Amino acid sequence: MAPRHYALGRLKQGVMNRSESAYSQHLELLRRAGEVLWFKFEGIKLRLADNTFLTVDFAVMYKDGRLALEDVKGSKAIFSDDARVKMKCAADQFPLIIRAVYPVKGGGWSVEEF
């Protein structure tokens, strides 16, 4: 069987890209420090409308009990309009914290909350 090809550099479901892997390591450090209680990669899929779904990269439970859905983007420049609209719709429909997370040159993460 020939290998499948994925558009726009997307990987198979359940496989992290470099940015996602780096953010997973960041979340693990926060978990060890007690700031994060739990996190899961692609753990929650939201139904926004008929045939319209959003699977955010990380579901994160913080120590104060807040649940955040955090989607890792390589940069703001590659955050498509379609994905941005889905994130805004999810924030309007669900009582969850919805965020996009971007790596900062030199280290760290920039967070955009919807």
Domains of the chain: 15-113 (3.40.1350.10)
The pLDDT tens digits for 58-106 are: 999 999 999 999 999 998 888 888 889 999 999 999 999 999 999 999 8
Q: Look at residue 1 in the predicted model and tell me its pLDDT.
A: 53
CA torsion sign for 79, 83, 85, 88 is negative
Backbone φ/ψ region at 14: left (φ over 0), alpha (ψ -120 to 50), beta = left
Q: Look at residue 12 in the predicted model and tell me its pLDDT.
A: 72
Evaluate if pTM is beyond 0.85.
no
Q: Look at residue 18 in the predicted model and tell me its pLDDT.
A: 92
Q: Look at residue 13 in the predicted model and tell me its pLDDT.
A: 72
Q: Look at residue 2 in the predicted model and tell me its pLDDT.
A: 47
